[in-house]
Amino acid sequence: MRITCVLLGLLLPLALPLLAESLSPVAEMNSYLSKARDAVDSNHLAEAITSFVTVLALAEESPSSEGRDKAQTAAAELARIGTRLSLEPAGEWLDPKGSQIAASARQLGTVGGISPSVYLFENFGTGKSPVADAPIHFQFVKNSGSLVAFVTTDAYGKANTNVAKLDQGGSMAVIRAYPVFKARGKAYAFQTVSRDFAYIPPSNVMRVLALESSEFGTSDNPRTADVAAQVLKQTGLQVQPSNAKLADADFRRAYAGDAKSLAALGVDASSPYAGLILVEVAPARQMELNGKKYNIYTAVAGLKFRLIRSDGSAVFSLPLDGFKGQGASKEVAIADAYRRVAESLGSELQKRLEDIRNSLTKD
């Protein structure tokens, strides 16, 4: 007798699919409704939801008045379950007061960036229970990119996606998560049980700073800052030129990407971009021909432009060399070199404006 029972226990799971095939559609719906209720009673909510969705699928496969009644029953149960479900953000998305935060669009999909992560709970009055084995769908509802679209919750009800790419890093992105259960080709989404994760772009303020140096020291009022600012405004950024005389050492450290030096120059989270212009003029030389000196002086200038973020990472670079100024004195020759550099900088930035725009949207 014991052997017979054991054999029946082993063979019954194999026979159930065959038995289901022999059932009428309505009988099969009744079977899944019963299975769903048993799963609810045993706290296997994901299994119960899948069974109810199967009833909806069967009703669509084999339409009948009795089948529609069974589908209505399943739909009502799913609606009741939906009122008890909630999606909550994982801890990294909460501030100390428990409010959900927004993340950086530029860091999405990069090391150090945070990806959407949720907990699915079934709520009972003041208590709640995690829902395991539930498929969570993640999708972009603002902006676009590449991510893992479906993730199943673990034993703690947690599911988190991985974002590989954000198409427009300089624009806001919103990723929505919600449960979607599928059975026999039928999908049932609890769209009212959703959680949105916002990724905001950095502030669009750019500070333009220039250091112009020659044998007479640094310029009190560098012209290149204004020239570059006029062109860079076309990128859509709020450009703030700075004509203040800058300390040589501080500026060079900032130009090299030192975040502390950038912050000291006002390049921070509120003004996250800097256009840094470094102009260096070699000592002016007096023209001499056949041993005779003339009151004509020349000065050769070079320029380096960098578009840089507040963290020190470079976005765009442009070196320009070989600008010769000329005049009746050293001072005039150097001033002419500065003028020629400024004119060329404006022209070259204009030519590369589209490259600059594209570089601002990249990680």
Evaluate whether 179 touches 85 at the Cβ level (below 8 Å). Answer: yes
Residues facing residue 293 across a β-bridge: 288
Please check the confidence at residue 110 and state whether its pLDDT lies above 80. no
Residues 352, 210: one domain?
yes
pLDDT digits (tens, 9 = 90+) for 272-286: 889 999 999 999 999
Please tell me the least confidently modeled range out of 6-10, 40-44, 122-126.
Answer: 6-10
pLDDT digits (tens, 9 = 90+) for 174-220: 999 999 999 999 999 998 999 999 998 777 788 999 999 999 998 88
CATH number, position 166: 2.60.40
Is residue 341 a part of any domain in this protein? Answer: yes
Is residue 3 a part of any domain in this protein? Answer: no
Please tell me the least confidently modeled range out of 88-102, 119-133, 193-207.
Answer: 193-207
Query: Residue 157 — left, alpha, or beta (φ > 0 → left; ψ -120 to 50 → alpha)?
Result: left
Residues 106, 221: one domain?
no
Is residue 7 very low, low, confident or very high in pLDDT (cuts 50, 70, 90)? low
Residues 129, 76: one domain?
no
Is residue 119 a part of any domain in this protein? Answer: yes
Please tell me the least confidently modeled range out of 16-25, 217-226, 243-252, 274-283.
Answer: 16-25
* Domain finish residue from 60, 84, 108: 84
- The CA radius of gyration of the chain, in Å to the nearest whole number, is 34
Burial class of residue 266 (count of CB atoms within 10 Å of its CB; 0-12, 13-18, 19+):
middle
Evaluate whether 231 touches 121 at the Cβ level (below 8 Å). Answer: no
Please check the confidence at residue 20 and state whether its pLDDT lies above 80. no
- Full residue range of the structural domain in which residue 41 is found: 18-84
Strand 285-289 to 238-242 pairing: unpaired
Q: Find the distance separating the first CA and the last CA of the chain, reported in whole Å.
A: 70
Residue type, 37: R
pTM of the model: 0.60
Evaluate whether 238 touches 205 at the Cβ level (below 8 Å). Answer: yes
Please check the confidence at residue 73 and state whether its pLDDT lies above 90. yes
Evaluate whether 145 touches 167 at the Cβ level (below 8 Å). Answer: yes
Evaluate whether 79 touches 40 at the Cβ level (below 8 Å). Answer: no
The number of domains in the chain is 3
Residue 167 has a CB neighbour count (10 Å cut-off) of 12
Q: How many CA atoms lie within 13 A of 202 on its CB side?
A: 23
Query: Residue 239 — left, alpha, or beta (φ > 0 → left; ψ -120 to 50 → alpha)?
Result: beta
How far is residue 222's CA from residue 241's CA, in Å, rounded to a whole number? 10
How far is residue 331's CA from residue 343's CA, in Å, rounded to a whole number? 19
Residues 35, 132: one domain?
no
Runs of H (alpha helix) within the chain: 2-22, 25-41, 45-61, 65-84, 223-232, 248-255, 259-264, 330-351, 353-360
Residues 220, 312: one domain?
yes
Q: Which two tokens stand for residue 115?
A: 């990806």
pLDDT digits (tens, 9 = 90+) for 208-223: 999 999 999 988 888 8
How far is residue 229's CA from residue 267's CA, in Å, rounded to a whole number? 15
How far is residue 73's CA from residue 81's CA, in Å, rounded to a whole number? 12
Produce one character per residue of 233-251: b if its CB has 16 or more CB atoms within 10 Å, e if not: eebebebbbbbeebeeebb
Residues 215, 354: one domain?
yes
Residues 195, 96: one domain?
yes
User: Which pLDDT belongs to residue 75?
Assistant: 96
